[in-house]
A and B are shown apart, each in its own frame.
Chain A
Amino acid sequence: MDSKFFKLLLLGGAVRFYFCRTPLAPMIGNRVEFATPLNSHKRMQEGIFLLQSGIDPYLGDLVHESPLILSALSGLFQKYPQFLPIFYIILDICTAALLYAMSLRFVKQKQDQQDKERKEYAKDTEELQFGPLDKLDIPELVIVAYLFSPLTVMSCIGMTSTVISNLFLAFFFYCLVKGMLIPCLLVLAFETVRSFYPIVLIAPLLLVFSRNSVRRGVAIAALFIVSCLIVAVANYFVLNSWNFLDGTLGFIFYFRDLQPNIGLFWYFFTEMFEHFRTMFLITFQLNATVLYLVPLSIKLRKEPLLLATVLVALMAVFRAYPSLGDVGFYLALLPLWKRCWKFMAHGFVVFTFFLVTLSMMGALWHLWIYAGSANANFYFGATLAFSTGQIFLITDLLFAHVKREFCLFNGQKILIDGEEARIVLK
């Protein structure tokens, strides 16, 4: 660790500390783009209050945080509420530190892999390879992209529990790159029991740890199931009740709360005919989980970290209750693929989509809910365009990676009859 790293951590903490003392913080905590039924600070407070009052928080459908987290944080929430912003800032800084450590390790692994394959590379591909400077540049870009992204800053000052989710995911990535199996399994099991969608990350975990052995893969999968059961039983003992399963996983699957957010579910299921609701629920939940898992796992079996990154990004787009904190997390992973950026053709389009739709969401929400001069379609249009922009980004990254892998071994310029050839998919 060098001093620049610590300076960036301190600066990121200072930015968050400054903003959490402005009127922006409670406003962000109520924005539907950041606070969903799953991660809202108000609902966390309500859950802890009900837990301390001896009322089962999952009898209602207001609380959807896991019992272990409610129980672990109840002391802090009840006795020291003035330190809550500091607590969330510390969690966010830990996330950034984990991402930094993960990036260092990742770049080193990539450079080692390159050293073995260098003689197979084409001659004009130096700019596609990880250079010596990348060992410092890429981790620095990752930590800057996380600490100073407006999405993660506002998610932190809004005190959403996405900060906790991002910490667990960063720890998962760190253990994945470090090759630590048991912590990786436990944190993935915890996050799966808590919010369902991270179960797809079992695929990169298996690719990393099974080492092409089927028996070992089966053993790891069994270990994952056992870890999930252990976490579920640990949650059970907080309240001696299984109600939390319906309050967390059941709530996510059945999409009971139609509160608007940046995803695709909310208006679709508001306008859904009741007769078809179950079918489309299953279809949309498949789309958010396993629909892309098998083809991407096969295609990216040699790149488990890119697989994990893409799966986290697809989660942020297609999960039932996404928030901008989820988007900020996977955007911070993009510098890992810095060497693919040459082939990303839609950067400007995606940036424009993000800028326009994120600006319009606040305005259109106000016009719909407060001014009364717009209606739900306006806000739906903005969320639709935002999801489209994210999809462009993800598909662009995938295609860029495939092109880079091809060009590394075949060169960037291929001549046919003296003319430069075009690279197409077939």
Chain B
Amino acid sequence: NLGRDDERFHEELVVRPLSGDHVNTYFQFTTRWHYGEKDNLYHTQLTPRVIAELLQQFAVKELHIGLTQGLWRYETWGYPIVEATSGAEMWAWFSGANLTNRDVDRQWKELANVFSGVLCASLNFVDNTNSIAPRHLIRPQFMPANGQRFVRYATLPREIVCTENLTPWKKLLPCGSASGFASLLNSGHVHNTKYHSLGLKVRVLCEDHDEDNCIVELTQTANLVYDLRLFELSNNDFSLRRLFGMGLNGYCELAESSKIYVQRNELGERYQLVPEPVHEVKTTRGGHSVVYSVYDMHEQFKEAGERLFNVAWLAPKSANRRRNLAKPSLPPVTVHRYLLGHGQERGRIVTEVTNSHYDALPIMLQEVIPWYVHAYLHTLSIRRKPQRVNEYGGQRLTFKLLHYTPGKQRELPSHLEIGFMLPGQTSALISIDVDYLLLKWLEYPPDANHGHYIGSAIVSSQLPMGRNYTALPPEGHLFEHSFNATRPSYVLSLHTEALIVSLPTPDFSMPYNVICLACTVVALAFGPIHSVATKMIIVGRQTSAPKNFVKKIFNQLFRRGKATDETAAEGEGLPAAGAAATGVASGRAAISPGSPSGDQPLLEDLDEEEEEEQD
């Protein structure tokens, strides 16, 4: 449908009031380019050059990067439009002729290095020790059924998202932060939110078996959740100026469309919008209806003149208290994850999945357990309980699908994927025993006692209805494509909390001491054993040393007199020694003729001292 060389850019902003005095603002910037064949990638207009070069260098078909700070609360906020986990997350689908696993691993690492520069994030730490090849989850959205699957996935839960990531992210946009919706994203306000997530998605869509007729689609998203109570207002009114520090100064001139969608039903029902919206859209999806008011920036700024566009949400004052206490309805599937056990030796990773729907739902769970934690697959178990009961009993579910790759220290993480059916209004507890490892002293991060992270697990399901579901369909690329997008089922993907484990730590100041002490103990064995093995037993005179100076002098005089006797004794001893030698049939020479004279050196210092004097 699109002509060749078409390049289009769209801006969208979705504002949704959430439960508990929170507001979700979702930005989506979509660039789509029908470039045709690969050589045309050298001539970019709206698409960033780095994305075009990416497609020349790597056989990447789909790339997803998320940089997130904070935790999305499923129980109170429902499901986000774009799913993300805390820290940095990255996954890619590689496809091409003659690709091997080794090629894909190399490209994956290079791709991560490229984007560590593009987004100023620590994606260069993505390597084999924290990457997996997902088998069942994280399916590329347009993966052919029979095609070869080279998918790589990695998370860096320790990554902190801040200004240095937002600025280069905005630079990828055609208008940057000068005009358009991106001008609302100021660091001071973005990083004052409860939750903020930057996303980048690249898809290459080609006609079947025709690599010369392709579209590259770049989608950049920013998902923010504000806590209105932080604004210190007497009521729950808010506005764009309040959320972002300024109103809109216009729209991106290069944008095909620039629209703001405001949710008007459910929690948005009680707000009065100023200015009054001109358009409203009612969308029904999977039996669930949502009403959006639409502000088209092209219409708002049709007349010339400098002004700032602002939207204000006014809450009725009398109904504040009562409506705030209304409990939100639980979404169909919620997930949690935590660590059991105490100490730095072992524990248990527990993932809890709750199905609030009345019917059974298929559940898929993917865990990536880093190499510094040993997981024992034989301890994997799924226990279940009715949703309203607090304690888990002995009832167990069986997993219908199991994929496990054991981890290797300093090389590979453990990779676990399980699938099971979760009955309606039931909770499941998936637990696996783990041991914590002692690392080499240089393998600890600078703050070793902070602990080490285990990335979040991914839980995937298929919902039969569209309640709480706001994600885009796979074939869509604009938020408005989710309007009236009824399907037989809706693929849901959730992330659990990341975990932090305390590993045992050595004393980092001890390398030389330990080396010296251990070698000393080895020397305690080496010396005596080789001494026993290489020396002979001899017989020495039993002597005692004089105790003080006076006795020493006296002993010397006495010994000098004794020397004469010793000479005589030696002479007398010769016949006896000869007789003894004759008598010993074994011929052992242990008693040497010289021994009786006591000339052999002895071990004690004083004895040696005497002997030296004699010499």
- In the complex, the answer to whether B533 meets A376 with C-beta atoms within 8 Å is no
> In the docked arrangement, what's the CA distance between A403 and B507, Å?
44
Q: In the assembled complex, which residues on chain A have CB atoms less than 8 Å from the CB atom of B529?
A: 292, 295-296, 394-395, 398
Q: Which A residues lie within 8 Å of B518 (CB)?
A: 264, 267-268, 384
Query: Which residues on B sit within 8 Å (CB–CB) of A271?
Result: 441, 506, 510-511, 514-515
Once the chains bind, are B524 and A388 in contact (CB under 8 Å)? yes
In the assembled complex, which residues on chain B have CB atoms less than 8 Å from the CB atom of A267?
Answer: 506, 514, 518
8 Å CB contact of B378 from A49, A292, A317, A392: A49
* B506:A422 contact, CB within 8 angstroms: no
How far does the alpha carbon of A409 sit from the alpha carbon of B591 in the complex, in Å? Answer: 12
On chain A, the residues within 8 Å of B408 by CB distance are: 59-61
A55 near B406 (CB under 8 angstroms)? yes
Give the CA-CA distance A36 to B540 in the complex, in Å: 48
Whether A226 sits at the interface, judged by CB under 8 Å, is no
Instruction: Indicate whether B595 reaches chain A with its CB closer than 8 angstroms.
Output: yes
Known: A274-B440, A292-B529. A376 touches B596 (CB 8 A): no
Does any Cβ of B come within 8 Å of A399's Cβ?
A: yes
Q: How far is the CA of A258 from the CA of B111 in the complex (A)?
A: 33
Interface status of B404 (Cβ within 8 A of chain A) = yes
Most buried by B among A60, A257, A416: A60
What residue of chain A has the Cβ atom nearest to residue B343's Cβ? A370
A425: contacting residue among B405, B506, B532, CB under 8 A: B532
A171 at the interface (CB under 8 A from B): no
Q: Mark B417-449, 1 if CB is under 8 A from A, else 0.
A: 000000000000000010001111110000000
Chain A residues numbered 400-426 whose CB sits less than 8 Å from any CB in chain B: 402-403, 406, 409-410, 414, 416-417, 419-426
Given A50-B406, A272-B515, A409-B588, answer yes or no on A399-B504 (Cβ-Cβ < 8 Å).
no
Q: Closest approach, in angstroms, between the C-beta of B520 and any C-beta of chain A?
A: 9
Which of the listed residues B414, B441, B541 has the most CB atoms from chain A within 10 Å of its own CB?
Answer: B441
Q: In the bound complex, how far is the Cα of B343 from the Cα of A384, in angstroms?
A: 24
A395 in contact with B510 (CB, 8 Å): no
Chain B residues with CB under 8 Å of A298's CB are: 533
A314 interfacial by beta-carbon distance below 8 Å: yes
Residues of A within 8 A of B531 (CB): 425
Given A62-B376, A394-B525, verify A421-B542 contact (CB < 8 Å): yes
Taking the complex as formed, is A127 at the interface, i.e. its CB lies under 8 A from any CB of chain B?
no
A264 adjacent to B404 (CB under 8 Å)? no
Q: Does A192 contact B (CB under 8 A)?
A: no
Determine whether the beta carbon of A406 is less than 8 Å from that of B590: yes
The proximity string for B residues 584-615 relative to A, scoring 1 for CB distances below 8 Å and 0 otherwise, is 01101011000110101011000000000000
Please state if B404 and A376 are interface contacts (CB–CB under 8 Å). no
Interface contact B504-A425, CB-CB below 8 Å = no
Pick the contact of B506: A42, A270, A420 (CB < 8 A): A270
Q: Is B321 an interface residue (CB 8 A)?
A: no
C-alpha gap A258/B442 in the complex (Å)? 13
Contact among B412, B525, B590 for A410, CB-based, below 8 A: B590
Task: Give B527 Cβ to nearest chain A Cβ, in Å.
Answer: 9
Complex CA–CA separation, A271 to B524 (angstroms): 21
CB distance from B443 to the nearest CB of A (A): 10
The answer to whether residues A120 and B533 also contact, given A258-B440, A270-B441 and a CB cut-off of 8 A, is: no
Instruction: Indicate if A71 sits at the interface (CB-CB under 8 A).
Output: no
Do B537 and A403 have beta carbons less than 8 Å apart?
A: yes
Q: Are A258 and B586 in contact (CB under 8 A)?
A: no
Residues 263 to 304 of chain A near chain B (Cβ within 8 Å): 264, 266-274, 284, 287, 291-292, 295-296, 298-299
B99: interface (CB < 8 Å):
no
Q: A260-B438, A380-B514 are in contact. Are A375 and B507 (CB under 8 A)?
A: yes
Q: Tell me whether A259 is interfacial, beta carbon within 8 Å.
A: yes
B525–A314 CB distance below 8 A: yes
Q: Point out the residue from B344, B515, B535 that lies within 8 Å of A369, measured CB to CB.
A: B344
A270 touches B595 (CB 8 A): no
Shortest distance in angstroms between B113's beta carbon and chain A's nearest beta carbon?
23
Which residue in chain A gives the minimum CB-CB distance to B511? A271
Q: Which of chain A's residues have a CB closer than 8 A to the CB of B409?
A: 61, 256-257
Asked, given contacts A268-B518, A376-B506, A402-B532, whether A416 binds B414 with beta carbons under 8 Å apart, the answer is: no
A387 at the A/B interface (Cβ < 8 Å)? yes
Say how far A361's CB is from chain B's closest CB, in angstroms: 14
Verify B542–A419 contact, CB threshold 8 A.
Answer: yes
B534 — nearest CB in chain A belongs to which residue?
A295
Min CB distance, B212 to chain A, in Å? Answer: 41
Contacts of A368 in B (CB 8 A): 504
Least Cβ–Cβ distance between B420 and chain A, in angstroms: 16
Q: How far is the CA of A410 from the CA of B504 in the complex (A)?
A: 57
A residues sitting closer than 8 Å to B (CB atoms) are 30, 42, 45-46, 48-50, 53, 55, 57, 59-63, 120, 256-260, 264, 266-274, 284, 287, 291-292, 295-296, 298-299, 314, 317-318, 368-370, 375-377, 380, 384, 387-388, 391-392, 394-395, 398-399, 402-403, 406, 409-410, 414, 416-417, 419-426
Can you name 21 A-B pairs with beta carbons within 8 Å? A49-B377, A53-B402, A55-B406, A59-B408, A258-B437, A266-B438, A267-B514, A268-B515, A272-B515, A299-B533, A318-B522, A376-B506, A387-B521, A394-B525, A395-B532, A399-B528, A403-B537, A416-B596, A417-B541, A420-B542, A424-B537
**Other A-B pairs, 6, CB within 8 Å; known A53-B377, A399-B532, A410-B590:** A55-B377, A61-B408, A271-B514, A376-B507, A395-B532, A424-B540
Task: Rank and list the top 3 A-B pairs by shortest CB-CB distance, nearest first.
Answer: A60-B406, A295-B533, A49-B378
